[in-house]
Structure 1
Amino acid sequence: MAGQLTHQAVSHALKGIVARVLQIPESTITDDARITDLSLVESIKLLRIAGRIERTFGIELDNEVLFRTGTLSEIADEIHRLCVQEQEKVA
């Protein structure tokens, strides 16, 4: 999946994951939203989001990324970076 991933595709998938876990409309999530400021966020839900990210993208995500990273765009940057890194390991 990493081969054809763009930042935009990662961002879109991330918003979908967050919306499903938090049970909020995807349309209410913006790139500049801080994940910890979204409604209904709790630590356990952040861990569920991290797990879904890992399964979706085939990466290992440091759970602290969700707790300490600012915006969804910045989280998407980290996911994209990890995907590229995983792809380079395989190549």
Structure 2
Amino acid sequence: MTTTEILRTVTEIAVAETGLPATVLLPEADLRGMAGVDSVRVLRMIARIERRFDIELDDQDVFGTSTLADVAAVVDKMLREAA
């Protein structure tokens, strides 16, 4: 799976969990500063990402990310390490 495909999937999950349109959830947008995106929604989003990619993200990685591009990069790293 390419980085672009991972980002697309992460964005789709973020759209589903936050209710925000993909036009707002740009790869470099800071999730922490978005109206309506709270820690519970972010945790649900991360849980869905973990299930979708069959990985378990480290808490440090999760809390060290603030954008969808960051999340996609962590997922990409985990998938490469597992291969």
TM-score range, shorter chain: 0.7 to 0.9
Other-structure match for 1:37: 33
TM-score by length of 2: 0.87
Aligned residues: 83
Identity of aligned residues (%): 27
**Matched residue, 1:14:** 10
Give 3-state SS (helix, strand or coil) of 1:31's partner. coil
Matched, 1:49 2:12: no
The 3 A distance-change label for structure 1 pair 40 and 64 is: farther
Determine the C-alpha separation between the residues in 1 that align with 2:35 and 2:78.
27
Which runs of no fewer than 5 residues in structure 2 stay unpaired?
A: none
Give the structure with the higher percent helix. 1
1:80 is the counterpart of 2:73? no
Q: TM-score with structure 1 length normalisation? A: 0.80
CA RMSD of aligned residues (A): 1.4
**Structure 1: unaligned runs, 5 residues or longer:** none
Partners of 1:50 and 1:63 within 8 A in 2? no
After superposition, give the CA deviation of every residue in 1:27-53 in whole Å (9 maximum; x if it has no partner).
221111122123311111111011001
> Between Structure 1 and Structure 2, whose CA radius of gyration is higher?
1
Secondary structure at 2:70's aligned position in 1? helix
